[in-house]
Structures are given as C-alpha cells and as structure tokens.
C-alpha cells in the first residue's frame, strides 16, 4: 500500500537530502552534534511549511518547486543564527573554540583520514564568508546561480568570492 500524502513525500525528501544537509552543516559548523541538530531543525521547518501551505492550497500538498534549494536556504539561515549566537567572539577565538568533531564516519583509509581531517580543519579556518560559498559550491555542488539567489548576491560577487576562497585555502594548506 503506497500512500502519497505529504507525510510520505516529506520522509522521502528526508531520505534523499538529510546527508547532504548534514554534510553542509558539519563543514560550516565544525561540530557534528550541532550539525545534527541543525539538520533536524531544517527538516522540521520544511514540514511546518508543508503543513501550513497545504491548508491554503485546496486539494494538493503545497507544491515546493525546488526542495533542495529550499532546504539549503533554511539550513543556511539556521547556521547564520548559530554564528550570531557566538556574537561577541572574535574570529580567532572562534577558531580556537570550535571543536573539530568530525566523528567516526570517515572511512578506514588512513591516508585520506588524515587528509580529510586536515582539510576540514583548514576549511574551518577560512573566514565565514569564504567558507560559505566554498562549501556550497564544492561540497554541496550547487550552481553559482543557485548560490547567488540563496545569498541574495550577484553571480559575479559569488564567483569572485569563490575564487578568493580557493586561493586562501591553498595558502592555508601549504
């Protein structure tokens, strides 16, 4: 028995996107536990949206055109909130304080393990603005266009920022 109500749809979306959103959060927040919380909150908000819009659109579940982009936007906002919470902390302090709990999910490939660790740490050292676009583009694989729309910037600005992020990254990994 297959029921295609909003609940089914929602859970399917969770199945499909939870990992991606989680990954994004881990890189942005450098904290696995917090990343889980944010991921869950992201989906909760998605559901709330679905529950409400269904009310208004008679007969059909609220149609969400691009769930993926929608989810990223929600997550991004939540991440920004997280950062604001650590408001009066300077960038340096932030860097020291953040725990780099990547967790146990990295495979038993020791070479990559160290590399991965190192890279994540380095990414964590990037300024937030750079990190944001870098991850969205090269970890999440979003298009520059989508990123621009999400961040409410021009594509040009986004491109430039990504480029600078990569440069910074290279410097840091030397």
Residues interacting with other proteins, by CB under 8 A? 1, 3-8, 10-11, 14, 18-19, 22-23, 26-27, 36, 39-40, 43-44, 47-48, 50-52, 54-56, 58-59, 61, 102-107, 112, 115-116, 119-120, 123, 138-139, 166, 169-170, 173-174
Nearer Cβ to other proteins, position 39 or 76? 39
How many of the other CB atoms lie within 10 Å of CB of 83?
A: 13
What is the DSSP code (8-state) at residue 30? Answer: S
| Helix or strand run (H / E) with residue 86 | none
Closest contact distance (angstroms) between CB of 132 and other proteins is 14
Nearer Cβ to other proteins, position 113 or 145? 113
Closest contact distance (angstroms) between CB of 106 and other proteins is 5
Nearer Cβ to other proteins, position 151 or 166? 166
| Dist CA 89 CA 76 (whole Å) | 20
β-pair partners for 101 = 31
Closest contact distance (angstroms) between CB of 79 and other proteins is 15
- Residue for token pair 């659109």: 57
Half-sphere exposure of 143 (CA within 13 A, CB side): 5
Mention every residue, 6+ apart, whose C-beta is less than 8 A from residue 97. 86, 89
Closest contact distance (angstroms) between CB of 88 and other proteins is 30
Nearest to 75 by CA among 150, 163, 15: 150
Nearer Cβ to other proteins, position 14 or 146? 14
Nearer Cβ to other proteins, position 22 or 72? 22
Closest contact distance (angstroms) between CB of 141 and other proteins is 9
β-pair partners for 167 = none
Residue 116 in tokens: 């991965």
Residue 40 in tokens: 């869950």
């Amino acid at each position: 028995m297959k029921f295609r109500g909003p609940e089914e749809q929602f859970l399917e979306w969770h199945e499909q996107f939870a990992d991606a959103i989680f990954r994004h959060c881990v890189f942005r927040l450098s904290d696995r536990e917090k990343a889980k919380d944010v991921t869950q909150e992201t989906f909760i908000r998605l559901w709330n949206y679905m529950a409400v819009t269904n009310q208004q659109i008679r007969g059909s579940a609220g149609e969400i055109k691009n769930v993926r982009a929608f989810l990223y936007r929600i997550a991004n906002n939540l991440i920004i909130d997280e950062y604001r919470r650590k408001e009066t902390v300077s960038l340096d302090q932030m860097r020291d304080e953040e725990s780099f709990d990547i967790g146990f999910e990295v495979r038993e490939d020791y070479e990559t393990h160290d590399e991965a660790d190192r890279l994540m740490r380095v990414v964590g050292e990037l300024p937030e603005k750079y990190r944001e676009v870098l991850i969205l583009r090269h970890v999440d694989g979003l298009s520059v266009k989508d990123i621009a729309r999400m961040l409410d910037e021009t594509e040009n600005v986004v491109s430039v920022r990504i480029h600078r992020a990569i440069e910074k990254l290279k410097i840091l990994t030397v």
